[in-house]
Amino acid sequence: MKFRGTRLYCSLPWFAMIVILGLFQLVDPPTQLRGVSKVMSVLAMSVFLYMLVKNLRNPPVVLELREDHICFVGLFPSVWTLFQLWKSVTIPNANVTSIEIGRVSDGLRLGKSHLADLNGDRGVSRRRVCVIQYIEQGREVRIYHPNVDGIENLAEMQRALECRFGGRLVLF
């Protein structure tokens, strides 16, 4: 069972990059750099446009439930959340210790102090996140997706996780 990001959530960053690049075209570069600037702009615009169409047609998979493991795309909590790249992990079902879905601010009020690591930006406390804690090589690891509302069929995903993990799924 695959759960994908919504078309809007996955395409919005690429659309924003196209708009920003278009605004930069209004600035006139120095004479020596005009040719290079035009070539670089066309290349960048074509890459952004390709990614926009690709994400509109087929949004990326955020969570995939397989028989004996799950595949999840998210970020590891750290100070440098703004500069992190998305990571894809495959986690055996037996190694999952808990899955928590809810707003960071609500979780902190309920005493879930480990969610404080996710407060890298102000917006994350208002969004709903999905945090998966699992055991990897004898140590506990957390990975999270910063905007669960950007996943298609969220209610179906929660039901599937509830069926598979039961008491290990916490909604707050």
User: Over the chain (172 residues), what is each successive 10-residue block's mean pLDDT?
Assistant: 86 84 78 76 87 87 94 81 80 95 76 65 71 94 88 92 93 86
Q: What is the pLDDT of residue 97?
A: 95
Q: Which of 35, 57, 79 finishes a domain?
A: 57
Q: Which of 37, 57, 77 finishes a domain?
A: 57
Q: What is the pLDDT of residue 71?
A: 96
Q: What is the pLDDT of residue 119?
A: 55
Q: What is the pLDDT of residue 75?
A: 84
Q: How many domains does the chain have?
A: 2
- Determine the 3-state secondary structure of 49 from DSSP: helix
Q: What is the pLDDT of residue 69?
A: 96
Q: What is the pLDDT of residue 120?
A: 55
Q: Are residues 79 and 162 in the same domain?
A: yes
Measured between alpha carbons, how far apart are the two ends of the chain, in Å?
Answer: 24
Q: Are residues 163 and 122 in the same domain?
A: yes
Q: What is the pLDDT of residue 70?
A: 96
Q: Are residues 82 and 132 in the same domain?
A: yes
Q: Are residues 104 and 25 in the same domain?
A: no
Q: How far apart are CA 120 and CA 127, in angstroms?
A: 12
Q: Are residues 120 and 164 in the same domain?
A: yes
132 and 91 in contact (C-beta within 8 Å)?
yes
Q: Are residues 96 and 158 in the same domain?
A: yes
Q: Are residues 18 and 77 in the same domain?
A: no
Q: Are residues 51 and 72 in the same domain?
A: no
Range of the domain at 115: 65-171
**Stated pTM of the model:** 0.77
How many whole angstroms from its chain centre is CA 25?
A: 30
Structure tokens at 85: 């790249």
Q: How far apart are CA 16 and CA 55, in angstroms?
A: 14
Q: What is the pLDDT of residue 81?
A: 58
